[in-house]
Each structure stands twice: as C-alpha cells, then as structure tokens.
Amino acid sequence: MGWKSLDAMATFLGLFLLVFLPLGQAKTENKTCPYRNQNLSPIEGWRSAEYCMQNKSDSCKKYILINTGWLNVTKEDGPSFCSGGCSDHTLAVLDCIKHVKRDYKFVNRANVQDLNDTIRNGCDPTQGMHKAR
Ligand SMILES: *[C@@H]1O[C@H](CO)[C@@H](O)[C@H](O)[C@H]1NC(C)=O
Ligand SMILES: *[C@@H]1O[C@H](CO)[C@@H](O)[C@H](O)[C@H]1NC(C)=O
Ligand SMILES: *[C@@H]1O[C@H](CO)[C@@H](O)[C@H](O)[C@H]1NC(C)=O
Ligand SMILES: *[C@@H]1O[C@H](CO)[C@@H](O)[C@H](O)[C@H]1NC(C)=O
C-alpha cells in the first residue's frame, strides 16, 4: 500500500468520524434525559449510562456514583447516607442506568442489581447494618 492510499484512508476515516458519529449521537441519545434512550447499541448504552451518572444531587456530596461503582459509605456516614436522600438519589441513577444498559458493569465488576442490593440491604433498618459497601 502506497502513501497515497494511506492518505486516502486517513481522510476517509476522518470524514467518517466527523460526519457520522455526531449525527448518530444527536439522533439517538439524549444527554439531559438519558432515561429516554432505549434500544441502544452497546456503545451508545454505555455512553448513556455515563450520562445517567451526570445526574448530581445536593443530598449526595460525598458519595457520588461513578463508573467504578464503588460507594465506600462508612459506618458513621451510613445513617445520613440512607436518610439524607443520597441512597434514594443513587437508586434513581441506578434505575436510569438499568433503562439504558441493562447489563451495565461497573469497573469493579458489580452490576446494577449488586449495587441496588448493597444499598437497599445497607439501608434496611431491620438488618441493622446501616452500611453500604
Ligand atoms: C431530551 O429530553 C428532554 C425531556 O423530555 C427534552 O426536553 C429534550 O428536548 C430532549 N433532548 C433531545 C436532544 O432529544
Ligand atoms: C473505605 O473508607 C474507609 C473510611 O474512610 C477506609 O478506612 C477504607 O480504607 C476504605 N476502603 C477502601 C477499599 O479504600
Ligand atoms: C435525577 O435524579 C433524580 C433523583 O435524585 C430523579 O428524580 C431524576 O428523574 C433524575 N433525572 C434524570 C434525568 O434521570
Ligand atoms: C432494586 O431492587 C428492587 C427489588 O428487587 C426493585 O424493585 C427495584 O426496581 C430495583 N432498582 C434498581 C435500580 O434496579
């Protein structure tokens, strides 16, 4: 392959990225309301899951759900995490992720259900732990 065809290929790739990717995004994804993004390709679903995690809440300053999936809620912070609205917000974000990418996996290999269980069990007063891992 000569330089000329390499050059042509680079140009083609550049055009492809420039023209088709933004178009695809604009058509299928809603960043402010990722909930609405359904039936996405795996990449789009993953990206929408990231948009879900952009949803921040005043009640969640310390424990913010990010793609590592790890909320290291200390025992001392458990009660305020659970009753201060942060657990509810985090569950809402998880719900959003579930809608856009059902099989989403966090970096620590946990999935939506794992985190859902951790938070709900941790905040369940009858379990007396008040601690989400
Ligand atoms: C995203 O959804 C919101 C709420 O329904 C809507 O107001 C907004 O126009 C949508 N944006 C796009 C790009 O579809
Ligand atoms: C989680 O937080 C506690 C308290 O801040 C800390 O002692 C512990 O090392 C943390 N766990 C990990 C895995 O970093
Ligand atoms: C953001 O989170 C709140 C809960 O704290 C939820 O009510 C709201 O629907 C979420 N917004 C989006 C766009 O997912
Ligand atoms: C968490 O689990 C409960 C009980 O199974 C379920 O009702 C809820 O929809 C789940 N939420 C998410 C975000 O998966």
Global pTM reads: 0.76
Q: At 35, list the tokens.
A: 């909930």
Apex 68 CA angle, 65 and 69, nearest 5 = 50
In terms of C-beta density within 10 A (0-12 exposed, 13-18 middle, 19 or more buried), how is residue 86 classed? buried
Query: Is the minimum distance from the CB of 74 to ligand 2 under 6 angstroms?
Result: yes
Centre of ligand 4 to C-alpha 58, Å, is 23
- In tens digits, the chain (133 residues) has pLDDT values of 666 776 776 666 665 566 555 555 545 688 888 988 888 899 999 999 999 999 999 999 999 999 999 888 999 999 999 999 999 999 999 999 999 999 999 999 999 999 999 999 999 887 755 544 4
Centre of ligand 4 to C-alpha 77, Å, is 23
Centre of ligand 4 to C-alpha 80, Å, is 21
